[in-house]
């Protein structure tokens, strides 16, 4: 049975092709792009047709299916050698989101074990990755909602909902479950410059599911906390280091600092596929630098002074010391540290 407030799917496999909801067009248009080869999938990931670490991984897995099908047709006896370039292109599309490489490694294991036409076995694995993500999100929703306590409002940043995952969402999965249980009365959503994922995606997603949402400028979040309007900040993650440091959309670190000062609790919600135990701490997480035009223009129109230089990291790192709760499908780590992360990942 589909839970309440869960109608949105951004990644769909249909009739032997991958269909991605073009998130650049939201909320103005609901447009699915039909992709039939791995190069198109890699470009869609890079260009942010699809975004959000879990959704990127799922899209990449389906991209491997498309690549394997094409390479096997070209060369039935040598498709394994030829698929290497496709895997590399997919892996390079977004360097920070560890789910991308995690999903590709799962697909590579199937490739190594497959003789003959690989398409059907790889499609089964990709669908499994997709279904496991949705199930994990629903479990995290319940675990995170159990931490909320008394009814109140929450603040979220960027989009960690159904649009960023296989479905239901990570941070928004907790919010969906909390709202269903009467624990959340309202969601405040940061606009999330420069791509405005909060304004365009989170506000749209929550409004579509009938959850009260109030949009605010990124710079207004600390004042909102100062007014006592929120009890929790709830965010997702793109990569989590072995010590519990969290890389997430730029602006998350500032929220965590403000939350700690104002006594607002800070929750990170992410599947264990986002945890990279090979990265000792946040300083070792590669941070993607995006194009200057994302800050210099808006909707194709210049908004900055000519000659201004740009620093445009897509993510920042929140130290584990500022995280009150890390929620995964395997369980919850309160005040995460290296020891707690090791126990969690050994579960």
Q: What is the DSSP pairing of strand 246-249 with strand 297-298?
A: unpaired
- State the DSSP code for 162: G
* Residue among 2, 4, 1 nearest 180 (CA): 4
Rounded CA separation 210/75 (Å): 51
CA distances from 109 to 92, 114, 221, 322 (A): 19, 9, 44, 37
Other beta carbons within 10 angstroms of residue 79's beta carbon come to 22
Q: What is the DSSP pairing of strand 297-298 with strand 213-216?
A: unpaired
* Residue among 242, 234, 209, 246 nearest 147 (CA): 234
Rounded CA separation 211/157 (Å): 16
Cβ burial of 283 (10 Å; 0-12, 13-18, 19+) is exposed
Burial pattern 307-319, b for ≥16 Cβ within 10 A else e, equals: eeeeeeebbbbbb
Backbone angles phi, psi at 316, to 5 degrees: -130, 175
Q: What is the DSSP pairing of strand 246-249 with strand 315-318?
A: antiparallel
Task: Give catalytic residue positions.
Answer: 238
- List the structure tokens of 89: 């292109």
Residue with tokens 């020891």: 339
């Amino acid at each position: 049975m589909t839970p309440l407030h869960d109608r949105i799917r951004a990644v769909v496999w249909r009739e032997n092709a991958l269909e991605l909801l073009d998130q650049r067009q939201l909320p103005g248009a609901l447009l699915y792009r039909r992709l039939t080869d791995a190069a198109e999938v890699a470009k869609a990931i890079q260009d942010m047709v699809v975004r959000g670490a879990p959704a990127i991984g799922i899209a990449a897995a389906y991209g491997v299916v498309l690549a394997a099908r094409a390479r096997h047709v070209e060369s039935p006896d040598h498709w394994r050698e030829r698929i290497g370039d496709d895997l590399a292109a997919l892996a390079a599309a977004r360097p920070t989101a560890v789910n991308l490489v995690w999903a590709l490694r799962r697909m590579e294991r199937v490739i190594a074990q497959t003789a003959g036409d690989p398409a059907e076995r790889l499609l089964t694995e990709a669908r499994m990755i997709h279904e496991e993500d949705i199930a994990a999100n629903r479990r995290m929703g319940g675990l995170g909602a159990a931490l909320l306590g008394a009814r109140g409002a929450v603040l979220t940043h960027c989009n960690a909902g159904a649009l960023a995952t296989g479905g239901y969402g990570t941070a928004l999965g907790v919010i969906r479950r909390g709202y269903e249980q009467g624990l959340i009365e309202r969601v405040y959503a940061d606009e999330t410059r420069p791509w405005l994922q909060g304004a365009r995606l989170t506000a749209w997603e929550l409004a579509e599911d009938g959850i009260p949402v109030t949009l605010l400028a990124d710079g207004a979040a600390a004042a909102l906390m100062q007014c006592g309007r929120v009890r929790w900040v709830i965010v997702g993650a793109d990569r989590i280091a072995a010590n519990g440091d969290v890389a997430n959309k730029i602006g998350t670190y500032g929220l965590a600092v403000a939350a700690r000062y104002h006594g607002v609790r800070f929750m990170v919600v992410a599947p264990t596929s986002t945890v990279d135990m090979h990265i000792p701490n946040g300083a070792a997480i590669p941070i993607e630098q995006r194009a200057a035009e994302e800050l210099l223009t808006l909707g194709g129109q210049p908004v900055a002074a000519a000659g201004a230089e740009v620093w445009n990291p897509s993510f920042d790192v929140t130290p584990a010391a500022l995280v009150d709760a890390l929620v995964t499908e395997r369980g919850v780590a309160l005040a995460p540290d290296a020891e707690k992360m090791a126990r969690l990942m050994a579960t």
